[in-house]
Amino acid sequence: MNFPAPLVPATFLRRYKRFLADVVLEDGSELTVHCPNPGAMLGLSTPGLPAWLSISDNPKRKLSHTLELLEADGGLVGINTLLPNRLVAEALEAGTIPELSGYASVRREVKYGKASRVDFLLEDPARGRCWLEVKNVHLMRTPGLAEFPDCVAARSTRHLEELADQVAAGDRAVALFVIQRMDCEVFSACADLDPAFARGLEAAASAGVEVMAWSCEVEAGGVRIVSPLPWRR
């Protein structure tokens, strides 16, 4: 997925009120931007990090700029948690992920579980249904190790239980972790930050939910899903 327009370089200053961040533009002016990330952003909130912003021409938006990328550990990291669903939609259309290709139709935001909407529902007369949940990953504390989540993620744990319910009903279910950085070689659940999620992922896998992790190529011009990573259990 290419960004529709060149990103604006800036320097990260601070993040606050969950969805706001302050940056300094190249001309020295300070700007408040939208930070589309509800997580803790561990390792990605250090003042002085190089940042890249997209600009919206929507006149109804209060903040015209959105924080898209930060440079950390020598590489670019995508922090926009809304982006992975777009990346997966693109990958499904292109057949980038072989295990998820070949379905006749793809629907998004389909109601399931108690009060949830699955990110994607893949359907095919011959293959049945595949319920696909997508999670954004950007945490790396140990070189080469991508981890999720970076804070307690009760909603994500509930999604794992709901995926397991779909398997029990006879369907296929997949938890797909999209890693918006290029410097990771393996994926793992972050058991010390959210032990409930780590247990939930193991339980879901034992119940038949497929766990997949794919890393991205992250550049200032765009982000795309490129390579599968092993899951370290």
For residue range 186-220, list pLDDT tens digits in order.
999 999 999 999 999 999 999 999 999 999 999 99
Q: Are residues 194 and 215 in the same domain?
A: yes
Residue 131 falls within a domain, yes or no? yes
Query: Among the three residues 78, 108, 123, which one is the final residue of a domain in this structure?
Result: 78
The overall average pLDDT reported for the chain is 95
Question: Distance between CA atoms of 186 and 23, rounded to whole angstroms?
Answer: 32
Residue 62 falls within a domain, yes or no? yes
Q: What is the CATH number of the domain that holds 72?
A: 2.40.50.580
Residue 2 falls within a domain, yes or no? no
Query: Which whole-number Å values give the CA distances from 7 to 114, 220, 232, in the listed order?
Result: 39, 7, 34
Amino acid letter at 89? A
Name the pLDDT band for 36 (thresholds 50, 70, 90): very high
Domain of residue 12: give its range.
8-78
Check residue 8 and give its pLDDT: 96
Residue 18 falls within a domain, yes or no? yes
Positive or negative: CA dihedral 137, 143, 144, 145: negative
Name the pLDDT band for 58 (thresholds 50, 70, 90): confident
Check residue 113 and give its pLDDT: 79
Question: What pairs with residue 30 in β-bridges?
Answer: 24
Nearest to 12 by CA among 55, 54, 44: 44
Nearest to 33 by CA among 9, 53, 49: 53
Q: Are residues 97 and 198 in the same domain?
A: yes
Q: Are residues 220 and 182 in the same domain?
A: yes
pLDDT tens-digit profile of 163-193?
999 999 999 999 999 999 999 999 999 999 9
Residue 111 falls within a domain, yes or no? yes
What is the count of structural domains for the chain? 2
Q: Are residues 109 and 27 in the same domain?
A: no
Q: Are residues 89 and 73 in the same domain?
A: no
Q: Are residues 115 and 26 in the same domain?
A: no
pLDDT higher than 80, residue 115: no
Q: What is the CATH number of the domain that holds 154?
A: 3.40.1350.60
Check residue 61 and give its pLDDT: 87
User: Which has more confidence, 4 or 228?
Assistant: 228
pLDDT higher than 90, residue 18: no
Query: Among the three residues 43, 78, 113, which one is the final residue of a domain in this structure?
Result: 78
Q: Are residues 219 and 125 in the same domain?
A: yes
Over range 41-53, report the average pLDDT: 95
201 contacts 160 by C-beta, under 8 angstroms: yes
DSSP state of 7: P
Q: Are residues 132 and 206 in the same domain?
A: yes
Q: Are residues 137 and 206 in the same domain?
A: yes
Check residue 194 and give its pLDDT: 97
Residue 3 falls within a domain, yes or no? no
Residue 142 falls within a domain, yes or no? yes
Positive or negative: CA dihedral 150, 180, 135, 212: negative
Q: Are residues 66 and 88 in the same domain?
A: no
Over range 75-85, report the average pLDDT: 96
Q: Are residues 120 and 65 in the same domain?
A: no
How many residues are given for the chain?
233
Q: Are residues 105 and 142 in the same domain?
A: yes
pLDDT tens-digit profile of 127-154?
999 999 999 999 999 999 999 999 999 9
